[in-house]
Every structure is written in structure tokens, then in C-alpha cells.
């Protein structure tokens, strides 16, 4: 049985494929997969899923390895080995608010996709806030008056800027990570050793 790698669909998928190709692996079956969600190559079985689902497949041993952003690991705390960072998917988590907005004295209202990260951030500051969970386009919340600020990912800063928001505080730099199922690392050590070493060093390891 070929080792199974779970990939986060979307921007990380594209960045991973460039990385995987740089390691001299054959990416054609992956690039030309169309809407397929499971693809086999010479060496691996790949599955394509949302970030949080990647961690579920790895945690339960359906996938031996996973490629996922550290934001997802911090938010959901899955029981997996968080092995090492990968050289793509770099971004930061930030608290942002509308440009020129006076930060209210009353209990602040914060909108985010990442409610656990938000809770922990303000707990560290000793502040109790009201948190609104959103699934995306979080920058709308301050604009529409739902929240005083947001906790969200910032990569280039363009989305904040184009929506009249500014960073108030950045608190977490991260990238894509390689994660592993706890048992797989023991049971499939030999089969996984070469690919893990290649990923860790970002070079071809034969």
C-alpha cells in the first residue's frame, strides 16, 4: 500500500505542487487531475481536501502525511505530529480595524474565522471580547458595523488596504507544515523516511 499524503486544496495545493516538482517528483498526474479528489502517482496516493479535513484524515490514519497551514493546526489542535515548516504558504495572523477608528473602551467585538486563536490572543492580553465567527471575507465585519476589529490572515496586506483596514497588531507568523499520523511514523518508517527527509530539507533525497 502506497503511503497516502493529504493535500490542502486551493492556494497551498498549487504551492505544494511547485515544491514537489522541485524535488524531482512526477506531478503530471496531480496537475492534470481535473476534479478528482484522489490521485495515485508512482510513489504515493494523494487526497485533496480542505485544510481542517486534512488534519482529520492524518489524525485518524487515513493519510500518513499531510500538508496544511499552521493556522489550521493552531485553531483546531489536531492530535498529529507537526513535523516541520515547508517553504511556502508564509503569512501572518493579525488584529486589524478600520483606519482611523477609535478603539472603544467598552467590550470589543471581534470577527474571525479563527475563534480559538482569537480567544487565546485576547486571553493572553487579559481582555474579554465578544467574538463573531465568520467563514470568510472577514474584512466585511468592521465595514458593516458587526465588529470593531478582525483577527485574520495577512499575506500581502492588499485585502486589508483595499477595504480601508489597517493592522493594529501582528502576533503569529507561520507557513505550511508537514504533519504526520502518530502511528504511521512508526509502522511505515522506512517507506516514509525518504519523502519526509526530502520535504524537511527541500532537496532531493535518494
Ligand X SMILES: Nc1ncnc2c1ncn2[C@@H]1O[C@H](COP(=O)(O)OP(=O)(O)OP(=O)(O)O)[C@@H](O)[C@H]1O
Which residues lie near ligand X (CB under 6 A)?
8, 10-12, 50-51, 69, 71-72, 89, 91, 136, 153, 155
Query: Which member of 113, 177, 178, 184 binds ligand PRP (CB under 6 A)?
Result: 113
What is the Rg, in whole angstroms, of the alpha carbon atoms belonging to the chain? 19
CB 180 within 8 A of CB 83: yes
Interface residue with ligand PRP among 158, 186, 190, 206 (CB under 6 A) is: 158
Strands ordered across the beta sheet of 130-133:
130-133, 109-112, 149-154, 91-98, 165-174
Of 16-24, 75-83, 97-105, 148-156, the window that binds ligand PRP (rule: CB under 6 A) is 148-156
Cell of 42: 508512482
Chosen from ligand PRP, ligand X, none, partner binding at 8 (C-beta under 5 to 8 Å by type): ligand X
Size of the site for ligand PRP (CB under 6 A): 12
Q: Give which of ligand PRP, ligand X, none residue 12 binds (C-beta under 5 to 8 Å, depending on kind).
A: ligand X
| Region 123-142 residues binding ligand PRP, contact defined as CB under 6 A | 136-137, 139
Alpha-carbon distance of 161 to 96, in angstroms, equals 10
Which of residues 27, 83, 154, 166 is near ligand PRP by CB under 6 A? 154
Q: Which of 190-193's residues contact partners 24+ apart within 8 Å by CB, and which partners?
A: 191/3, 192/3, 192/64, 192/65
**Shortest spacing between CB 2 and ligand X, in angstroms:** 25
Question: Which distant-in-sequence residues (6+ apart) come within 8 Å of 168 by Cβ?
Answer: 94, 95, 96, 97, 103, 149
Contact residues: ligand PRP, CB under 6 A? 113, 136-137, 139, 152-159
Amino acid at each position: 500500500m502506497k503511503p497516502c499524503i493529504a493535500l490542502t486544496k486551493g492556494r497551498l495545493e498549487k504551492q505544494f505542487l511547485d515544491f514537489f516538482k522541485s524535488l524531482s517528483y512526477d506531478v503530471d498526474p496531480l496537475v492534470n487531475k481535473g476534479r478528482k479528489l484522489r490521485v495515485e502517482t508512482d510513489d504515493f496516493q494523494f487526497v485533496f481536501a480542505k485544510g481542517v479535513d486534512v488534519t482529520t484524515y492524518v489524525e485518524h490514519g487515513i493519510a500518513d502525511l499531510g500538508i496544511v497551514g499552521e493556522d489550521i493546526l493552531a485553531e483546531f489542535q489536531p492530535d498529529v505530529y507537526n513535523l516541520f515548516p515547508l517553504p511556502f504558504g508564509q503569512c501572518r495572523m493579525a488584529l486589524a480595524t478600520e483606519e482611523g477608528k477609535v478603539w472603544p473602551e467598552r467590550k470589543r467585538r471581534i470577527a474571525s474565522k479563527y475563534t480559538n486563536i482569537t480567544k487565546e490572543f485576547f486571553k493572553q492580553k487579559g481582555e474579554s471580547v465578544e467574538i463573531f465567527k465568520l467563514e470568510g471575507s472577514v474584512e466585511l465585519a468592521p465595514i458593516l458595523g458587526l465588529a470593531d476589529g478582525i483577527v485574520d490572515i495577512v499575506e500581502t496586506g492588499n485585502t486589508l488596504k483595499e477595504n480601508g483596514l489597517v493592522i493594529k497588531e501582528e502576533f503569529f507568523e507561520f507557513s505550511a507544515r508537514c504533519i504526520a499520523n502518530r502511528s504511521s511514523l512508526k509502522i511505515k518508517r522506512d517507506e516514509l523516511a525518504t519523502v519526509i527527509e526530502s520535504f524537511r530539507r527541500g532537496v532531493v533525497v535518494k
